């Protein structure tokens, strides 16, 4: 069943499977209720009756939000209730297409120990909703608050029970919201949906690459990398800043990137490209609040660091991808063609990529392909056009 929001459908693996139980987790205030109400609106319009169970907000509050979102409320039944037995009775009587429970932490069952939100209540309520979903073949969407540690009411308890776990993330100061698959019994888990929170709700961001590259400026210390989020290629800006370290060991800080990976890259830069980092603090930042887990970003991180260290931008119009080995070798990564496609689509001129990338004749997308097999070669290629003294040996 399509939920009428393509970004959400994609994260679900193409839509909602009837009878499935889906958990949408996220910190309070991130936008879960907003997104779920928008989903209700579309499903009510396209498919049939929807029940929205609100255990957190009064009907007046939900109504205010609905008005703000332009949700008419037709075919949406609002139930302000936290007693799950009562809720299930209502659901049996209405036979809806979709049920939204906001949030699982407010629900409770008679006969189960603990206050609402306690581990036992959350678990038993989820099990009861799962049973309902399967028996009646009705899909249920659950909102769940995430604790500071990133777990929904106790490590993993809920995740094991439900069919699909999605997380909604975003940075406080940014309007962008990411919905990410964490578990999916029906599809891939590494899909990503991108939204922007505006005055009347969440809107889909189709051209997400433009968000994460902030246009496509090539400042000093900035490199654009085509990463893959599930099946989706995304251009992401990686920034690095090197500054003289004070006394003590130099610091390595990474935002949106694995700090251990950064340590590895710094070591390879030092040993294999003769970059002097031992007296430099290094900060790496992925812009737009994205987290990159792909080794394909290694070479981009390395070149961003070199750019900051040299105080020179890399050649304008270039994107960079490739995995770095400890020997300073640049290794091939998956799906080079999709990465090049996204760069070409957004008007980039060239790409530094692993020489072992297998490409067909027309796969270059009109981009100038700078194939490299080592880090020092990549450094030479990425800064080639503006020449100037470098002091680093090319191989």
The reply to whether 63 sits near ligand TYD by the rule CB under 6 A is: no
**Residue from 127, 197, 220, 349 in contact with ligand TYD (CB under 6 A):** 197
The reply to whether 32 sits near ligand TYD by the rule CB under 6 A is: yes
Taking the complex as a whole, the smallest distance from the CB of residue 32 to ligand TYD amounts, in Å, to 3
Q: Which of 176, 158, 178 is nearest to 168 (CA)?
A: 178
Q: Within its chain, how far is the Cα of 201 from the centroid? A: 19
- Give 125-130 contacts, CB < 8 A, sequence gap 24+: 125/84, 126/21, 126/158, 126/161, 126/162, 127/161, 128/84, 128/88, 129/21, 129/84, 129/99, 129/101, 130/21, 130/161, 130/162
Site string for ligand TYD, 10-29 (x = CB under 6 A): ----------------x-xx
Return the ∠ at Cα 82 (arms to 119 and 68), rounded to 5°. 115
Site size for ligand TYD (CB under 6 A): 15
Helix/strand/coil percent split, the chain, to 5: 35, 25, 40
The reply to whether 65 sits near ligand TYD by the rule CB under 6 A is: yes
The reply to whether 60 sits near ligand TYD by the rule CB under 6 A is: no
29 binds, among ligand TYD, Mg ion, none (CB under 5 to 8 A by kind): ligand TYD
The DSSP code sequence of 109-142 is: -TT--S-TTSHHHHHHHHHHHHHHHHHHT-EEEE
**HEC sequence for 265-295:** HHHHHHHHCCCCCCCEEEEEEEHHHCCECCH
10 binds, among ligand TYD, Mg ion, none (CB under 5 to 8 A by kind): none
CA dist 215 and 213 (Å) reads 5
Angle between helix axes 59-69 and 32-46 (nearest 10 degrees) is 70
**Residue from 20, 34, 82, 376 in contact with ligand TYD (CB under 6 A):** 34
The reply to whether 31 sits near ligand TYD by the rule CB under 6 A is: yes
Taking the complex as a whole, the smallest distance from the CB of residue 385 to ligand TYD amounts, in Å, to 44
Q: Which of 149, 157, 169 is nearest to 11 (CA)?
A: 169
Q: Of 31 and 181, which CB lies nearer to ligand TYD in the complex structure? A: 31
Residue 344: in which H helix or E strand, if any? helix 336-345
Q: Of 109 and 142, which CB lies nearer to Mg ion in the complex structure? A: 142
Q: Name the one range near Mg ion by CB under 5 A: 6-14, 33-41, 78-86, 311-319.
A: 33-41
221 binds, among ligand TYD, Mg ion, none (CB under 5 to 8 A by kind): none
Q: Of 33 and 222, which CB lies nearer to Mg ion in the complex structure? A: 33
The reply to whether 150 sits near ligand TYD by the rule CB under 6 A is: no
Taking the complex as a whole, the smallest distance from the CB of residue 63 to ligand TYD amounts, in Å, to 12
77 binds, among ligand TYD, Mg ion, none (CB under 5 to 8 A by kind): none
**Residue from 3, 30, 138, 353 in contact with ligand TYD (CB under 6 A):** 30
Residues that bind ligand TYD (CB under 6 A): 26, 28-34, 65, 68-69, 197, 199-201
């Amino acid at each position: 069943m399509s939920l009428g929001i393509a970004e959400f459908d994609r994260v679900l693996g193409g839509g909602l499977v009837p009878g499935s139980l889906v958990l949408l987790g996220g910190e309070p205030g991130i936008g879960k209720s907003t997104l779920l109400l928008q989903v209700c609106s579309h499903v009510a319009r396209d498919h049939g009756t929807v029940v929205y169970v609100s255990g957190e907000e009064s009907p007046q509050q939900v109504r205010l939000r609905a008005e703000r979102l332009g949700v008419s409320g037709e075919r949406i039944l609002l139930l302000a209730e936290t007693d799950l037995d009562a809720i299930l009775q209502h659901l049996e009587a209405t036979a809806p297409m979709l049920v939204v429970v906001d949030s699982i932490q407010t629900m409770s069952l008679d006969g189960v120990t603990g206050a609402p939100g306690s581990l036992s209540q959350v678990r038993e309520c989820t099990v009861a909703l799962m049973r309902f979903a399967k028996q009646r073949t009705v899909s249920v969407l659950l909102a769940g608050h995430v604790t500071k540690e990133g777990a929904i009411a106790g490590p993993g308890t809920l995740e094991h029970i439900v069919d699909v776990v999605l997380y909604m993330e975003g940075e406080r100061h940014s309007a962008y919201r990411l919905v990410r698959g964490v578990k999916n019994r029906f599809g891939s888990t590494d899909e990503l949906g991108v939204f922007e929170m505006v005055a009347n709700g969440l809107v889909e961001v189709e051209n997400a690459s433009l968000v994460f590259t902030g246009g496509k400026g090539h400042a000093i210390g900035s490199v654009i990398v085509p990463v893959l989020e599930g099946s989706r290629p995304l251009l992401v800006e990686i920034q690095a800043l090197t500054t003289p370290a004070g006394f003590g060991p130099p610091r390595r800080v990474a935002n949106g990137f694995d700090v251990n990976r950064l340590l590895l890259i710094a070591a390879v830069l030092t040993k294999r490209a003769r970059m002097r980092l031992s007296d430099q603090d290094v900060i790496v930042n992925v812009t737009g609040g994205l987290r990159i887990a792909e080794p394909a970003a290694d070479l981009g991180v390395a070149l961003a660091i070199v750019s900051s260290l040299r105080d020179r931008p890399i050649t304008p119009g270039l994107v960079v991808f490739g995995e770095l080995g400890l020997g300073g070798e640049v290794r091939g990564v998956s799906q080079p063609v999709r990465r090049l496609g996204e760069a070409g689509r957004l008007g980039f001129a060239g790409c530094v990529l692993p020489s072992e990338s297998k490409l067909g004749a027309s796969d270059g997308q009109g981009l100038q392909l700078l194939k490299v097999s080592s880090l020092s070669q990549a450094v030479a290629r990425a800064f080639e056009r503006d020449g100037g003294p470098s002091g680093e040996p090319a191989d």
